[in-house]
Amino acid sequence: MDTPPEKTRASVNPVSKIEDSPVFDYLNSLSPIKPVKSVHYAQLIHPLNDNSIPSVFASPHVSVQKESRFFTRCAFSELSKSDISLENGDEGNVSLVASLVASDVFELPVFTFEGKENSGVGDILQENISTNEHSSAFSTKLTETLRYESGSPDHNTLPLYDVKMESRIDLGGIPLSSARFIGDVSNGSHGLLSSEIQSHGISNLELSKGQGNHCDWDNRISDASELLIFDSSTGSEACRVQDQNLVDQNAECFASLPLILSESQENIDESSQKTQPCGSTLALVKNTINNPPTNHDKETGELDRMDQLTHVLSSVCQDNDEGIVDATGKLVDEAMNSTTVDDKVESQHQRGMRRRCLFVEMGAAHKNNLHNGSDSDSSRSVKDDANVTSDDRQLVPFKAGNGSSTCMLPSIGLHLNALATTSKDSRMVLQENPDSGRQSIKMSSSIGSLRFLKVAQTLHIQRDSRSIVGDEVMQDASCTPAIGTGEELNRSTPKRKRRKLDAGENEGCKHCNCKKSKCLKLYCECFAAGIYCVDSCSCQNCFNKPMHEDTVLATRKQIESRNPIAFAPKVIKSSDTYPDSGDDANKTPASARHKKGCNCKKSSCLKKYCECYQGGVGCSISCRCDGCKNAFGRKEDTVLVGANEAEHGEEELDTCEKNGKVGSPENDGIQKDGQQYHEGVLPITPSFQVCSSSGKLPFLSGGKPPRSSVVSIGSSKLNSCGMLRKSKILLSAPKFEKHFQIVPEDETPEILKLNTSPISTVKSSSPNSKRVSPPHTDFGLSPSRRSGRKLVLQSIRPFPSLSYDAIDQSPPRYQ
DNA sequence: GAGTTTGAAACT
DNA sequence: CAGTTTCAAACTC
């Protein structure tokens, strides 16, 4: 904690020292959806399910995530071919936004896999590659680069050509200017630029169309638009370009990112004296950006600019031979404001959620810079964050308008929770929830970011990481809470906090009021949540602060030694909420369970004294409560339900379980695997934890607990049969807990152990095995069978490796 | 806002 | 492992 932040920052080598960096931990935590000790942290960090940040270890995950994203999109894209007129006779090809860079940055909204549902992404990509020999050199380069990054030559190869097609197709309804622009871009095989534009255009198109498939498209569109808005706002801020038409805005937006990055980089360079191989590139980019074409020449001018920029980017991309690791390092570097242009480009490639997270961090970093005196960039980024926040608010109704909304951001789990709870499309839950993304973005804006940073730092602490970046950020966060969240910070009294919590405004925000525990015991909500106390806390003699990192870490270890799952999410999601199941039965309280069960004697499990109730889950057989009346599900009911499901489930369960489960060892193993999987998933899903641990479920504020407040992120999908049987879950509680301990909580070795076995098992026997397969093998698995659900699972899986320590989103098992 | 209740966490 | 104490959140007035 004492290390001078700047010094550390400057000295840190993004690539070589990534592991030492808190950012690295952070990234790791992001990767999967995992809760556990870091879980909370991880959860907070994990903005989007599908967008995990790749870690060095998870380098393959990066690609996986990308892939998963594709899958997700595929699953969601339900437009019929009829809706799209393909050109060039490439109907068979899945139209993907080519450049990962673009996709990462802008979250390409539309991927149409209709014709290829049965084909894996890898296959599709391969087809595209093979069929698109005529693609421009740039596209080829880009493809190679991407491939290289993904770590799998077979994956993530997205020819620009496809992008072009996509643009034309989807842009049909777009405003003429935009359409033209896009078309031109596509013709020029300017994948990166076109991608963004395309996304934008698609969004517009979709909005205007109002055709069927609204739900999915709306989600996507909203997500894309959100992203676009986010970027655009940033870009607009950075470039301060006004009165430009949509096309220009798009171009500006896209261009603005590099520009911003480059600018910040320059500042960094000045301060840190880092070598920037891309100085010329920066200049070129800047020139390109700064020289907007006239409207008349817009097409050509834009095209030219695009070309230039594209070439620059492509060249930069080619320069990235580091692969995922390098990318990770770059991410880290970004977080530290040491990002180089190519780094930025790289980061864009891997973006997705990571981008959002990074933005958050970057925002914090910018704050740091601001403190350091590098104003223009810093302030600008801050503004950007603010803009983003506002945009998000606009976009996100439920969060809108409340200054306190930022509070939600802080909690890691919030994202996931939000995802889980907000996502109405069960299919999308695991993958990418627009809402979640929004939340994550929000986080970046204010305190959320701070907390987020804190979380990262915490992770870093847990890992004994020596880098100070996290601390620095954290400190800034804690020390400079005023930025963007003055409202929240100002509210220091516990009662106010409670009120806010009650009001549901502060979900995810933890404000302790510890007097004697020094915030170093699980009594402290902040500490228990794995986050540092903030100014808004009313604690006394608090040691749960970055400056006491060592103490915090030691204490945590001690507690964990005593109880490995002490920091694990208290509520574990079971697989009940299978989307398709649809019946209330699925939504029964059993969908999630408290890891240990409650011990209520007087509250009848009807008040928040009850952790089950607080977590929005029903009591289970593991509870020792008396007179349970838990609105989410009584213990007795749980048992009954389990029995019912056992019978009732013969249809589903029998189908699945009977297939192998009962009886034969293999089946047994499968079941175990399935359970493990679920378990892992649950813990992984910070959402649960967040929900429960935070205890600030929306319904709580609202008053009535939703029947299934907690949405299972991935578990449900994982279970091909639909949902886990409550009874089974209950019965397996001990085992579950056991797994849970291993998985979420802690230390890599254990996790690895667990991970291996479950994964292997799953692969071998379980119907879900394909889904379960490790990230790097995801594509390798029969792509043909990937359905949306499967895709979901896959998407989830990739993340696990990173996190177990930190964030739980993805369970170790996936490793 | 103060005081009480409650049950988890910590301790023995 | 069970019983007790400590603690802070949740709740009530």
Nearest to A808 by CA among A594, A532, A572: A572
Tell me what pLDDT residue A536 has. Answer: 84
pLDDT per residue as tens digits for the range A291-315: 444 344 444 444 455 445 444 444 4
One-letter amino acid identity for A58? A
Tell me what pLDDT residue A560 has. Answer: 86
Look at A634 and A671; give whichever has higher pLDDT. Answer: A634
Cα(A429)–Cα(A131) distance, rounded to whole angstroms?
A: 34
Q: State which of A326-340, A497-511, A573-587, A653-667 shows the largest mean pLDDT.
A: A497-511
Q: Which nucleotides of C are covered by protein (CB under 7 A)?
A: 6-11
Give the percent of chain A with pLDDT over 70. 13
C-alpha distances out from residue A36 to A182, A280, A517, A528, A719, Å: 45, 45, 22, 10, 22
Tell me what pLDDT residue A519 has. Answer: 92
One-letter amino acid identity for A448? G
Residues with CB under 7 A from strand B: A 493, 495, 521-523, 528, 559, 562-563, 566, 570, 596, 598-604, 607, 609-611
Nucleotide nearest to A603 (CA to C1'): B6
3-class DSSP string for A175-193: CHHHHHHHHHHHHCCCHHH
CA closest to C1' of C9 belongs to A609
Look at A553 and A297; give whichever has higher pLDDT. Answer: A553
C-alpha distances out from residue A686 to A18, A29, A126, A694, Å: 24, 11, 35, 11
CB under 8 Å to A686, separation ≥6 — which residues?
A33, A34, A35, A39, A40, A42, A43, A44, A46, A412, A413, A415, A416, A417, A569, A807, A808, A809
Tell me what pLDDT residue A1 has. Answer: 37
What's the Å distance between residue A420 CA and nucleotide B12 C1'?
42
What's the Å distance between residue A128 CA and nucleotide C5 C1'?
68
Whether residue A261 is predicted with pLDDT greater than 70 in this model: the reply is no
Q: Which of A254-263, A588-597, A776-785 comes out lowest in average pLDDT?
A: A776-785
Cα(A556)–Cα(A31) distance, rounded to whole angstroms?
A: 22
What's the Å distance between residue A30 CA and nucleotide C8 C1'?
30
What's the Å distance between residue A595 CA and nucleotide B6 C1'?
20
Indicate the Cα dihedral angle A375, A376, A381, A383, nearest 10°: 100
CA closest to C1' of C7 belongs to A523
Nucleotide nearest to A517 (CA to C1'): C7
Q: How many helices (H) and strands (E) does chain A have?
A: 43, 2
Whether residue A556 is predicted with pLDDT greater than 50 in this model: the reply is yes
In whole numbers, what is the pLDDT of chain A averaged over residues? 44
Residues with CB under 7 A from strand C: A 494, 498, 501-502, 511-519, 521, 523-525, 607-609, 614, 695
Cα(A329)–Cα(A334) distance, rounded to whole angstroms?
A: 8
Nucleotide nearest to A596 (CA to C1'): B8
What's the Å distance between residue A13 CA and nucleotide C9 C1'?
44
CA closest to C1' of B8 belongs to A523
The number of residues making up chain A comes to 815
Tell me what pLDDT residue A644 has. Answer: 60
Tell me what pLDDT residue A597 has. Answer: 86
DSSP string, A680-693: HHHHH-HHHHIIII
Extract the tokens encoding A533.
């106390």
pLDDT per residue as tens digits for the range A9-40: 333 333 333 444 444 444 444 443 333 333 33
Tell me what pLDDT residue A267 has. Answer: 44
Tell me what pLDDT residue A643 has. Answer: 56
Tell me what pLDDT residue A554 has. Answer: 87
Tell me what pLDDT residue A574 has. Answer: 58
Nucleotide nearest to A494 (CA to C1'): C9
A567-583 average pLDDT score: 56
3-class DSSP string for A360-393: HHHHHHHHHHHHHCCHHHHHHHHHHHHHHHHHHH
Number of CB atoms found within 10 A of residue A464's CB: 11
One-letter amino acid identity for A487? E
Nucleotide nearest to A570 (CA to C1'): B8
What's the Å distance between residue A691 CA and nucleotide C1 C1'?
31
What's the Å distance between residue A512 CA and nucleotide C5 C1'?
21
One-letter amino acid identity for A260? I
A607-615 average pLDDT score: 88
Number of CB atoms found within 10 A of residue A753's CB: 14
Whether residue A72 is predicted with pLDDT greater than 70 in this model: the reply is no
What's the Å distance between residue A526 CA and nucleotide B11 C1'?
22
Cα(A674)–Cα(A766) distance, rounded to whole angstroms?
A: 7
Tell me what pLDDT residue A588 has. Answer: 43
Q: State which of A231-235, A495-499, A798-802 shows the largest mean pLDDT.
A: A495-499
Side-chain-side CA neighbours of residue A426 (13 Å): 23
Return the CA Rg of chain A.
24
Q: Is A218 exposed, middle or buried (0-12, 13-18, 19+ CB in 10 A)?
A: middle
What's the Å distance between residue A225 CA and nucleotide C10 C1'?
41
pLDDT per residue as tens digits for the range A656-697: 333 333 333 333 333 333 333 333 333 333 333 333 333 334
What's the Å distance between residue A478 CA and nucleotide C12 C1'?
34
Nearest to A720 by CA among A812, A662, A666, A655: A655
> How would you classify residue A276: left for phi > 0, otherwise alpha for psi between -120 and 50, otherwise beta?
beta
Extract the tokens encoding A566.
């002490």
Tell me what pLDDT residue A520 has. Answer: 92
Nucleotide nearest to A607 (CA to C1'): C10
CA closest to C1' of B1 belongs to A495
According to DSSP, the residues that pair with A572 across neighbouring strands are: A593
How does residue A562 score in pLDDT terms, banded at 50, 70 and 90? confident
Q: Which nucleotides of B are covered by protein (CB under 7 A)?
A: 1-2, 5-10
Cβ A804 vs Cβ A34: under 8 Å: yes
CB under 8 Å to A350, separation ≥6 — which residues?
A53, A54, A62, A65, A66, A100, A104, A149, A324, A327, A331
What's the Å distance between residue A96 CA and nucleotide C4 C1'?
64
How does residue A641 score in pLDDT terms, banded at 50, 70 and 90? low
Cα(A715)–Cα(A44) distance, rounded to whole angstroms?
A: 19
Whether residue A52 is predicted with pLDDT greater than 80 in this model: the reply is no
A419-431 average pLDDT score: 34
Q: State which of A65-69, A279-283, A478-482, A647-651 shows the largest mean pLDDT.
A: A647-651
What's the Å distance between residue A521 CA and nucleotide C7 C1'?
9
Nucleotide nearest to A496 (CA to C1'): B1
